[in-house]
Structure 1
């Protein structure tokens, strides 16, 4: 092996190690911070401390942590279930049913992705008020179910689904709902897993819309709790880090639970 190859390999591995350190350091600092006091975090202490229990007890006694976690899990899980059902059925309809105006309607729906949420927030808020859903979890969940990106994602996967199977089911007398839930859904577990991870992460990390809709402490989510802790006059950084770690765990658990199907779903694989 000549000198140029050795040098190029050293440079490549040095670059990869640097990227790894840059990526992992925030997580390390977060975990270390949850074991230290606010003063230690401000000083930049990079070693583990002995304040983990105190930080957790302070968080649990000052705030109803179990209630807040239940709110976040409830909103996220209901959002995921609603999004998977609505988006997949909408995508199935766009792909399997042909009409003259199908692509035009689909194009308009995709164009609406370019509208920033800030422009939709006031009309959505007025709609939620008219429906008497202000300060309810339903007011947070319903606007999140019709995810345009998830519809697009499902339709791209349905393009690779064998149309002959659906035609055979129709010939055998199966209705559309039975065909969809008995044939299509079981064959696309990987796609549903990838969409579930994306939908869960988006809902779990949502901040702006829950901040607008949820107005009492017993309805708030974990992201709003982190915001309240960070905006305090004297922020308890150890408690903040503890809350962030707790808020990060569900997304990590869900990803590792569904990672078997995630890559297949992102590449649009269909089990035949």
Structure 2
């Protein structure tokens, strides 16, 4: 009975694993084939990987798009972690009725879809394009600032701070540390798994961000990887082999970040404090 139960458990997990992995395997295999082979549904590796990669380099400014995505994602991640952790720390450590009301308003803002804020955001950035060009339309700042922190990330850090040993705060105050010193020298190193989880979530969200960059980034020099891939697929006769090699390249950074930090991610999401 136990063996049959274990068999069906492994069978179910194997099916789920296959369904999860197959799209990625198909993407990598198809990146080695010509466009006509991809449309035919060929599932065998081909010999056109270098050709597809060469066509991608000749057709697009791949290096610039990767650099733009990296700059936006890294900057957004660093600023978001700093701001959200400071806010989450403040909301939990210095609690009051007023702060709880403000926090509840932040949570309500999570219910507002981003599509509802696009028009006022665009008008705001367009209005300052002439006076402050580096903050206006078609700049990296216009992509970073609206996404630099979210109510979810603040909520995430506040909930994780509930697990933070309050005795460490008292010990820091007794030793004469300022609140900023406690945050930098005690809180930040102790909550590294939470920072790792927040970094993965923020980096992946920023790297894959499509809708807002599509609206505010209007020149080829500022395009990110999602916009480059979208442009490749919008042609009259898209080259699917070239598109898939671009998708593989665009997927590698997020996959690498996740696999390098997956243990910290799991610990951070489960509320572990070390």
Q: Which residue of 1 aligns with 2:86?
A: 89
Q: Is 141-150 or 164-173 further displaced after alignment? A: 164-173
Task: Note closer, same or farther for the CA distance 1:94–1:16 as it changes in structure 2 (3 Å cut).
Answer: same
Of the structure 1 ranges 53-62 and 166-175, higher mean CA displacement relative to structure 2 is found in 166-175
Task: Please give the alpha-carbon distance, in whole angstroms, between the structure 1 residues aligned to 2:194 and 2:54.
Answer: 40
Measure the CA separation in 2 of the matches of 1:13 and 1:166.
46
Aligned partners of 1:108 and 1:100: how far apart in 2?
Answer: 13
Per-residue deviation at 1:12?
Answer: 2.8
Match of residue 208 from structure 1: 211
**Map of 1:122 onto structure 2:** 119
Q: What residue is the counterpart of 1:41 in the other structure?
A: 38
Cα deviation, residue 7, structure 1? 4.2
What does residue 151 of structure 1 align with?
154
* Structure 1, unpaired ranges of 5+: none
SS, match of residue 21 in structure 1: helix
1:78 matched to 2:75: yes
Q: Deviations over 1:135-174 (max 9, x none)?
A: 0001000111121111111001101111222122223321
Per-residue deviation, 1:118? 0.6
What displacement does 1:75 show?
0.3
1:100–1:15 CA distance, 2 compared to 1 (3 A): closer
SS in 1 for 2:237: coil
Aligned equivalent of 2:23, options 13, 23, 26 = 26
Residue matched to 2:59: 62
CA distance in 2, matches of 1:255, 1:19: 20
Quick one: structure 1 residues 47 and 165, their matched pair in 2 at CA, closer, same or farther if it must change by over 3 Å?
same
Corresponding residue number in structure 2 for 1:265: 268
Distance 2:243 2:15 in 1: 27
Corresponding residue number in structure 1 for 2:108? 111
Q: How many residues align?
A: 268
- Look up the match of 1:52: 49
**Aligned equivalents of 1:265, 1:8: Cα separation in 2:** 32
Q: For residues 166-217 of structure 1, what are the alpha-carbon distances to aligned partners after superposition, in whole Å with 9 as ceiling and x for unaligned? A: 1222233211111111110011110000000000000000000000110000
TM-score by length of 1: 0.95
- Counterpart position of 1:190: 193
Aligned to 2:258: 255
Q: CA RMSD for the aligned pairs?
A: 1.2
For residues 10 and 256 of structure 1, do their structure 2 counterparts lie closer, same or farther at Cα, with a shift above 3 Å needed?
closer
The verdict on how the C-alpha distance between 1:120 and 1:7 changes in structure 2, with shifts beyond 3 A counting, is same
Distance 2:180 2:5 in 1: 57
TM, length-normalised to structure 2:
0.95
Corresponding residue of 2:132: none
